[in-house]
Amino acid sequence: MRRRNWTAFVVTGLTAAVFSSSAAFAQSWPTRPIKLVVPFPPGGLIDNMARLVAPKLALELGQAVVIDNKPGAGGNLGAAEAARSAADGYTLLMASPPLTISPALYSKLPYKPEQIVAVALLGRVPNVLMVSPESGIQSVEQLTALAKSKPGQLNYASNGQGTSLHLSAELYKSQSGTFVTHIPYRGAAAGLTGLMAGEVQLMFDNLPSALGLINGGKLKALAVTTPQRSSALPLVPTMEEAGMKGFQVSSWFGVAAPAGLPVPVLQKLEQALERVANQPEVKAAMLKAGAEPAWANSQGLAAFMQTDTAQWKKVAEFAKIALD
């Protein structure tokens, strides 16, 4: 009995000591600049959102937040660098769809998903389903009816295999019971050109890059893929409103970190990001870029990522997509 009590005392003491040490570290953290790994080249949406958030987060934490662009392998190289970094709060990752898409498409990744922990969700970017105005199609229902009447005769564009745009179309096919042929282009811009030229009949794209063409009348938006309508296209229904039950896709963005981050540091970082996300100028800048502010804490982002990965695994199995 004495041994059991002594063991419990030692374990309790060690736990308290570890927590005390972790709390002390968090109280002084950060004492030097923080690196924010962006797994894409400069100039894209995720990079722009990182450059919006970084200086605001620096002011909250009292240390510089330095952007480190690490593009390659569809976002996997940057994720791998973050995953291999020390879990001390000084290396963060700009989280985005590859974290949930890649585990569904690759049997081998340069990192393990469990090596990365969610910190916070900051926003979502809708994908939008579009057709050419000359097609005369006015709704998702009409598009589905046409596709069913001409199996295999309609084509859709994407910006490449395994992207959010590709998988959005495959999700539509799986839910609508249609057979539409995939035509991958070298980038979304080329796909949009193909859609306007009549080379393909439909396409999903990130809303910010397609919005000008939609507002200019060169493309017809049928639905957006987020749970709520986009403030940029308030008259365009969601895919769920258009009859595609459970259809939710977004090019989301947030912050993640190497697994093992001390809980007090995670909480301090989460709280700082929440203050940043709630700043009116940050929300306004997101909306101007075509993104929808969408705050969620660490638990909320982790749950979303788990659900998103499960969805893409089903789509990958349906479409027989494997990239290695």
Among 208, 224, 240, the domain boundary falls at: 224
Q: What is the pLDDT of residue 250?
A: 87
Q: In this model, does residue 155 exceed pLDDT 80?
A: yes
> 82-91, pLDDT tens digit by residue?
999 999 999 9
CATH number at residue 59: 3.40.190.150
Tell me what the pLDDT averaged over the chain comes to.
92
For residues 66 and 4, which has the higher predicted lDDT (pLDDT)? 66
H runs (alpha helix) in the chain: 2-28, 45-61, 76-84, 98-105, 140-149, 164-176, 188-197, 207-215, 263-277, 280-288, 298-319
Q: What is the mean pLDDT of residues 16-23?
A: 54
Q: In this model, does residue 215 exceed pLDDT 90?
A: yes
Closest listed residue to residue 323, CA positions, set 140, 175, 197, 167: 167
Tell me the backbone φ, ψ of residue 256, rounded to 5 degrees: -130, 175
Record the pTM. 0.85
Query: Is the residue at 19 inside a domain?
Result: no
User: How many angstroms separate the CA atoms of 98 and 105, rounded?
Assistant: 10
Domain boundaries, position 98:
31-125+250-319
Tokens 């002390």 correspond to what residue? 24
Tokens 């996997």 correspond to what residue? 76
Q: What is the pLDDT of residue 1?
A: 45
User: How many angstroms separate the CA atoms of 125 and 224, rounded?
Assistant: 10
Among 178, 208, 224, the domain boundary falls at: 224
